[in-house]
Amino acid sequence: GQNIDQPTEMTATEGAIVQINCTYQTSGFNGLFWYQQHAGEAPTFLSYNVLDGLEEKGRFSSFLSRSKGYSYLLLKELQMKDSASYLCAVRDSNYQLIWGAGTKLIIKP
Amino acid sequence: GAVVSQHPSRVICKSGTSVKIECRSLDFQATTMFWYRQFPKKSLMLMATSNEGSKATYEQGVEKDKFLINHASLTLSTLTVTSAHPEDNSFYICSARKTSGDYNEQFFGPGTRLTVL
């Protein structure tokens, strides 16, 4: 079966750095996405990785290792507004997005 | 940009009635749109994939006669929840795939919160 695993919840301090991990087992791979979702709102796109390595976009970076079926989202200089759920999604061989359950990130002052 | 709108944002209805939700891609054409359902504190669950001008492809366990999808144009898809009941209470989110660009990104609508009394 297809499976995306990420931690259920994480807590971090304002101004710090946090890394959210995602491991996946899917039928085929056509890219990995990270989305941010605030409570009661739709997901918003953060990053996309299809080749191994690190993609940096401002305070957010995303890393992919296809051989390990592993990705992480790195958030630097955390702000209170970063409190949200972070969803990892993998596009499989049928170009369908397979979603993780999301990681709820709690930022404390 | 790529903006997707949904209407209504919130709907409350009586049990047994039908509810229609519209999803529009405002500044791009979307040959493929997706309908998701999200229960509280759960991840997105794909309900169906809608291709313009053809029948939608439903995920296993999703009743196609209950959740009617119409993708009549390249910018509009509708989801009709027929004979809604409290177990249908959920957050319904559509997304549209932009076929141009490097990676065919999906853009999400703001979602529709359905409450069935």
Measured in degrees and rounded to the nearest 5, phi and psi for residue B86 equal -55, -30
Query: d(Cα B100, Cα B97) in Å, to the nearest integer?
Result: 9
State percent of chain A over pLDDT 90: 80
Instruction: Kindly state the average pLDDT of the residues B26-54.
Output: 87
**How many contacts does A have with B, using Cβ atoms within 8 A?**
38
Distance, CA of B73 to CA of B7 (rounded, Å): 16
- Residue B8: asked if its preceding bond is cis (omega within 30°), the reply is yes
For chain B, percent of residues with pLDDT exceeding 70: 94
CA of B13 vs chain A CAs: smallest distance (Å)? 19
Question: Is the Cβ pair A96, B105 closer than 8 Å?
Answer: no
What is the predicted pLDDT for the residue at A80? 97
CA-nearest residue to A84 within chain B is: B41
Name the nearest CA neighbour of B9 among A35, A85, A41, A36.
A41
- Contact yes or no for B44 and A44 at CB 8 A: no
Q: Which residue has the tokens 């992480």?
A: A72
Nearest alpha-carbon partner for A73 in A42, A45, A41, A97: A45
In one letter, which amino acid is B2? A
**Contact residues on chain B for A95, CB-CB shorter than 8 A:** 104
- Would an 8 Å CB–CB cutoff place B20 in contact with chain A? no
Running DSSP on this structure, what letter comes out for residue A9? E
Q: B64-90: per-residue pLDDT in tens? A: 999 999 988 889 999 999 999 999 999
What is the least distance, in Å, from the CA of B83 to any CA of chain A?
24
Give A40's contacts in chain B (Cβ within 8 Å). 91, 111, 113
What value does the mean pLDDT of chain B take?
90
| pLDDT tens digit sequence for A30-64 | 999 999 999 888 888 899 999 999 999 899 999 99
Query: SS in 3 state form for chain B?
Result: CCCEEEECCEEEECCCCCEEEEEEECCCCCCEEEEEEECCCCCCEEEEEEECCCCCEECCCCCCCCEEEEEEECCEEEEEECCCCHHHCEEEEEEEECCCCCCCCEEECCCEEEEEC
What whole-number distance in Å separates Cα of residue A92 and Cα of residue A48?
A: 14
Residue B100: what pLDDT?
A: 60
Tell me which residue has tokens 């297809």.
A2
